[in-house]
Amino acid sequence: MQIETELRLDYKDVLLRPKRSFLSSRKDVDMKREFKFPHTSKKWKGVPIISSNMDTTGTVETAKVLYKYDLLTCLHKFYEVSDIIKISKEPFFQNIIISSGITDRDLRRLNSIMKKAKPNFLCLDIANGYIEQFVAVVKKVRKRYPSVILIAGNVVTREMVEELVLHGVDIVKVGIGPGSACTTRKKTGVGYPQLSAVMECADAAHGLGGHIIADGGCVYPGDVAKAFGGGADFVMLGGMFAGHTESGGELIEEDGKEFKVFYGMSSGTAMKKYYGKVNKYRASEGKTVKIPYRGPIENTVKDILGGVRSACTYTGAKKLKDLSKCTTFIRVTQQTNDIFGSSTD
């Protein structure tokens, strides 16, 4: 047993320090990035924001809208193989990430998809990326699909990022417990403050030519900017993309107001929906909540992109790629003045 006494930080603990800028308008910020990857010759160019592979956010309907803005969508893993094959000829499919677990059943499904659909991106996604079996599957999948851009996670420490990149992962997914629909930290006591995880894992990945996704913990567009400022190459959003017309989840009405159901993929709701029960040996590690219906997701996409563009102008970053180079974080005890509520309208 030991205690690490160095303070680790979340997005709420810092603000970006403003700096002199030669930019005269938000529209002058280049939000697209072009990526090369350590284990494949493929390249990708676009805005590196991703809709999470929860079944309430990682939908085909969401992907169609995000593609118009050059964003990515990680499809949830419960789509039928035939449905994925059906959309594989659509233009937006180039910005879709196929997600898979690591069981034999998952890998058989994945093989069927890879044979017929040939996606650019593949995400091996489990809650605990520290189990020995995970690295073994990563090596196996890398060998079987050498040309795919391989994403894997979730982890939060530099040694596991290095191990995954060294064994064939192009992009490591970083985050344990920060998500708005996740209760892992409450149920298990395990986790890592997200901003510090991003900064440490980005440093490890970049040293080996790899990349990271900051997965979870963003509540506002400013948090997305902080994730990029902390060194994240991609940012994955769940709760911020939930509750829209294109999102999954049941639309319900209560007292004349509309809500959408949003839940974590380790919640009792998700496990009962896809597996019929919560197994006796485990606990639910996700919330099920009702969030106000937000209308078309396009409005939220514009709001997020506008916020990140503005962050770049405040810090002097002409390109999104430069934001981390222009970032100085300052520790704070208060983010906002919410005397009249917390609406961002």
Neighbours of 121 (CB within 10 A): 23
pLDDT > 90: what percent of the chain?
Answer: 77
Report pLDDT for 270: 59
pLDDT at 22 (0 to 100): 84
Is the pLDDT higher at 129 or at 267?
Answer: 129
Superfamily of domain 20-331 in CATH is Aldolase class I (3.20.20.70)
Active site (annotated) includes residue 326: no
Mark 274-305 as b/e (b = at least 16 C-beta within 10 Å).
eeeebeeeeebbbbebbbebbeebeebbeebb
Q: Are 100 and 107 in contact (CB under 8 A)?
A: yes
Question: pLDDT value at position 23?
Answer: 83
Q: Model confidence at 38, in pLDDT bands (50, 70, 90)?
A: very high
| Least confident span in 57-61, 95-99, 271-275 | 271-275
Q: What is the pTM of this model?
A: 0.93
pLDDT at 249: 81
Higher pLDDT, 183 or 130: 130
Q: What is the mean pLDDT of the chain?
A: 92
For residue 122, the tally of other CB atoms under 10 A from its CB is 22
Active-site position among 57, 59, 184, 269? 184
**Where are the domains positioned within the chain?**
20-331
Lowest mean pLDDT among 69-73, 85-89, 252-256, 308-312: 252-256
Catalytic-labelled residue, pool 182, 201, 218, 326: 182
Q: Is the pLDDT of residue 343 over 70?
A: no
Decide the pairing of beta strands 14-16 and 72-74.
Answer: unpaired
123 is catalytic: no
